[in-house]
Structure 1
Amino acid sequence: MSAYENNAFFWQKLDTLYLSSKLVVDRPRNTCHYKYSNLIYPVDYGYLCDTTGSDQAPIDVFKGSEKSNLVQSVVVSADILKKDCEVKLLIGCSEEEELEILEFLNQTEFQKAVLIRRGSEVPYWASND
């Protein structure tokens, strides 16, 4: 098994979370961060009602300009000021929007993020049928 397994079933679970929840956009594209006015959201940003992320708040979502209901990628961020790591879902984002989101999340010295794109691999242990 590789160190990184881009499991198709993982992405299906994320799709189910997204499709079974209501997306609330509380920070529209081109608005300022509530705490840091120099940070401008490159796409709509919000959360999924009735879900819980690792920070005990609802799961965060970046919603791009493309029509899609599938989770195409996730960003994982580490923040040394908040002393946390978070996963944020990306829905309907173009490659350019993905890069803008990465720039947005990586512009301070206190927080850094990586992007993981959706894969379609089925793990060897799941193909026994």
Structure 2
Amino acid sequence: MIITNYADFWLKLDQLVAVTKLKIDRPKGTLHPRYPSFIYPLDYGYLQGTRSGDGNDIDVWIGSLSSQTVTAVICSIDLEKRDTEIKILLGCTSEENSLILDIHNTGSQSAILLVRK
């Protein structure tokens, strides 16, 4: 059994977000560039200069809460792309968390949600 410092995990995510520029490249209401039937329900972007499992920057969903702190993390796997990655959720309500989780649990994708307590 592996035991980790739960508080330290969230603290380090907060630090990463605090020192990294957030780029919103897909604002709420825009169409996905490859899947035009998908409309982004929230702002979506990435942390510039970071790296995720797919080799790109770490993806970020931005919710409606005024505080843009890390509220959750999605861990996903995509069998079609043959990759795994995390997505950071900033300022998301529990309803927004569920909405984002549902998005990442479609088709060849599967995901779990880690919620900050």
Normalising by the residue count of structure 1, what TM-score does the alignment of the two structures yield?
0.83
In structure 2, list runs of 5 or more residues that go unmatched.
Answer: none
Percent identical among aligned pairs is 46
Q: Within 5 Å, which residues of 2 pair with 1:86-97?
A: 86-97=85-96
Q: Is the 8 A contact 2:75 2:87 kept in 1?
A: yes
| Aligned counterparts of 1:32 and 1:102: Cα–Cα separation in 2 | 18
Greater than 2 Å deviation, 4+ residue runs: 3-6
Q: CA RMSD in A?
A: 1.6
Normalising by the residue count of structure 2, what TM-score does the alignment of the two structures yield?
0.91
Residue 19 (structure 1) aligned with residue 49 (structure 2): no
**Which residue type is aligned with residue 98 of structure 2?**
L
| Aligned counterparts of 1:101 and 1:4: Cα–Cα separation in 2 | 28
Q: Is the 8 A contact 2:28 2:41 kept in 1?
A: yes
In structure 1, list runs of 5 or more residues that go unmatched.
Answer: 120-129
1:5 offset after TM fit, Å?
A: 5.1
Partner of 1:103: 102
| Aligned counterparts of 2:32 and 2:107: Cα–Cα separation in 1 | 16
1:6 offset after TM fit, Å?
A: 6.7
Q: Of the candidates 113, 118, 122, which is equivalent to residue 111 of structure 2?
A: 113
SS of 1:38's equivalent in the other structure is coil
Q: Which has the higher contact order (CA 8 A, sep 6+)?
A: 1
SS of 2:9's equivalent in the other structure is helix
